[in-house]
Structure 1
Amino acid sequence: MTNPDWAEPVIRRRLAVLAAAVVVLALVAWRVGPAPDLPAFGYLAVVGVALTFIDVALKRLPDPVTLPSYAAGLLLLGLAALFTDRGGARFTHALLGMAALFVLYALQWLVAPNQIGLGDVKLAGVLGLYLGWLGLPAWVAGVCAGYVLAAVWSLALLVSRRATLRTQIPYGPFMLAGVLAAVLAYG
């Protein structure tokens, strides 16, 4: 029996997701090293790749993937805090980072709901948790990197006339790329 016409693209897409997850996970593991917070950042790496592919394909960040990441991040970073020097302070910074980035994106959504999706707001809290764990310089760098990457991509699309000012782009991948950059720089 031959494969249906849809099977080959699905297989290629799954292999692309798997390959990207392996690369990102390897980079994160290399940067974080054998530290108590490696499971937390490993989780974020794998979920981040999945969310990137989903957002690019569907322009959505699904709650069944995003919302459990709050519990997973809090649990894994909370456990890491027990075995990390100044773990309590780092976990407090993680909570503050989570709240601050959630509020920042929620305000953006309230001011310009056509420019940012509610899924981005929900993802922001998760990303703020991890960036906060790394400290204020990493938090600022990760947030700014996401904005800069999205701006560069958008300008490239506008200049190449592949988009207009009304074109919506998935923003989650840029948020996640900014966090990955911060992890690689500060992890």
Structure 2
Amino acid sequence: MAVDRLRPPPAAPDPVPIAPATALSPRPWVRLSAALALVPVLRLAVARYAVPPGEPDRAGCARCGTALGLDRPWPALGPAARCPGCRARVGAPPYAVELAVLAGLAALALAGGAPAERAALAWWLGWAVPLVFVDAAVHRLPDRLTWPAALGVQALLGVAALVSGEAGPWLRAALAGVGLALCFAATTLLLGRRGFGLGDAKLALGVGALLGWHGWPVLVLGLVLTFTLSALTSLALLLARRVRWSSHLPFGPFLALGTLAALLLAT
């Protein structure tokens, strides 16, 4: 008992250090700046390839012929989208590409998955943005945009399979992409202009791979959402008397939106 009385009281615990408040990580701002820096490139792709099938790619303003290029991006390839010579609109509507890029960044922030999977989605979105605007303008999906989109997706998903050590998802993605593309191409051969175009089939290569990577139900969900969006839009335009029953709507924008919605719901 005497020993207990002589024992010094336990020392008070050291206070827990409080970390000083730090500024927000600059990484989101770096990503935003990098994405917006690509806007002139995307706008140039829209302006160059938004020409009717069979015509050469556009190298200048359709009205006055002023050359378009990344060496002189403003104001033609900026948010205003105006020719510096005649002030006519060039390519996609003002601020439309910028809003699409911001929406793509938001989708990437919400999407899950490994870094290589997210890289595949980012790669596809980078090509899908000009494809949507070109198809909406002239009902055309040029090979110079569809092939890089599809091949890049397959390659990046292959990297994701190597990192994870599981080949099953990549094989399913490849099968889904090729199968969906063949189905779309078959409608062109069997139905002619009433079927899907070959551009839609090439776009489906990347779309099918992205959806198939996450499983067959996600692929089905993406197609259901795509056709639902297409049907609702067609019905609304018919009721508004903006189109006729014989009118042909571009399918690429609906395929891109349905794919993105399915991926976000799946992850």
With normalisation by structure 1, the TM-score equals 0.89
CA distance in 2 between counterparts of 1:28 and 1:112 reads 37
Question: For structure 1, which runs of at least 5 residues remain unmatched after alignment?
Answer: none
| 1:4 and 2:100 matched | no
Describe the superposition over 1:38-94 as per-residue Cα deviations: whole angstroms up to 9, x where unpaired.
11011112211221111111211010000122221111111111223x631110110
Instruction: Decide whether aligned partners of structure 1 residues 165 and 12 sit closer, same or farther in structure 2, where only a CA change above 3 A counts.
Output: closer
Which residue of structure 1 lines up, in the alignment, with residue 185 of structure 2? 106
2:112 corresponds to 1:17: no
1:54 and 1:46 map into 2 onto residues whose CA distance is 14
1:14 to partner: Cα distance: 6.2
| Paired residues of 2:108 and 2:122 also in contact (CA < 8 A) | yes
Pick from 28, 38, 49: which aligns with 2:118? Answer: 38
- 1:97 aligns to what? 176
Name the aligned partner's letter for residue 169 of structure 2: R
**Which residue of structure 1 lines up, in the alignment, with residue 139 of structure 2?**
59
Structure 1 counterpart of 2:227, which letter? Y
Q: Provide, for residues 11-48 of structure 1, a one-character-per-residue CA deviation record: whole Å limited to 9, x for no partner.
A: 87364213212212321232226633111011112211
Residue in 1 that maps onto 2:221: 141
Bigger-Rg structure (1/2) = 2
Aligned length: 184
Structure 2 residue ranges without an equivalent (≥5): 1-82
Partner amino acid, structure 2, of 1:151: A
Q: C-alpha separation between the residues in 2 aligned to 1:100 and 1:148? A: 21
Name the structure 2 match of 1:161. 241
Q: Which residue of structure 1 aligns with residue 251 of structure 2? A: 171
Indicate the RMSD between aligned Cα atoms, in angstroms.
Answer: 2.0
Runs of 4+ in 1 over 6 A off after TM superposition: none
2:133 aligned with 1:50: no
Q: Is the 8 A contact 1:90 1:134 kept in 2?
A: yes
How far off is 1:131 after superposition? 0.8
Bigger helix share: 1
Highest relative contact order (Cα 8 Å, sep 6+), 1 or 2?
1
Distance 1:73 1:118 in 2: 19
Q: Distance in 1 between matches of 2:134 and 2:192?
A: 21
